[in-house]
Chain A
Amino acid sequence: EAQVTQNPRYLITVTGKKLTVTCSQNMNHEYMSWYRQDPGLGLRQIYYSMNVEVTDKGDVPEGYKVSRKEKRNFPLILESPSPNQTSLYFCASSFGDRHTGELFFGEGSRLTVL
C-alpha cells in the first residue's frame, strides 16, 4: 500500500530534550516536506527536500533540522524543543522536482513540549 509513515504519532516531551520524528514513504517520491499545523494558522512549511542530499528552508525553519540521506526517509529533528514547538506535524511527499502539488500526507505527529 502506498503510504507516508510518521513516528511517533503522539509524543509528550520536556523542554530541551532532543527528539526526532521519522518520516518514510514507499512511493519513490523525490519531493518531501515537513509542515506544522496550528489552529487558525493553517499549514506552515518547515523544511522541504527536492531529492537526496538536497534540503531547503520553508517558512518556519527555526528550531528544526532535517536530513535526506535516502530517498525514502526525511526525519525532522528538534535539537532543543521549546513549548512553542507544540504542534501537529505532517510529513508529505510528491513526485518530481516541480511536484504536481498532489501531496501525500502522513497521518500526523502530535507533539507536546512541556
Chain B
Amino acid sequence: AQRVTQPEKLLSVFKGAPVELKCNYSYSGSPELFWYVQYSRQRLQLLLRHISRESIKGFTADLNKGETSFHLKKPFAQEEDSAMYYCALRASKIIFGSGTRLSIRP
C-alpha cells in the first residue's frame, strides 16, 4: 500500500537556522516524490519534485530509497518560509502526507 508519513505536525526554528522537514514513504514500486507548500491565504502549490533534482527558494530534497525518505532541507531558514509543507507520492494516484507547519521565529 502507498503511504506518506510526516512525523512532525509543527516545526519551529529561528531565522538563519537549518531546517529539515521529514518525509517517509511506503511504496513497492519506483516512486515519484514531491513537496508542496501552502503559504498563508494562498493555495497549495508545488515546491519541488525529486526527478528535477532542483533547488527552489533554497530548499532541496534527496530521495533515499534505502531509507524510503524524501526529507526537505534548507541550510538557513527565512521568515518567509513559514508555511504548511506537504510531502506527496505519485504512484497509481497522488497521495499526500498530513503536513508539517513550519514556523520561523525572528
| A and B associate in one complex | no
Which residues of A does B touch, CB under 8 Å?
Answer: none
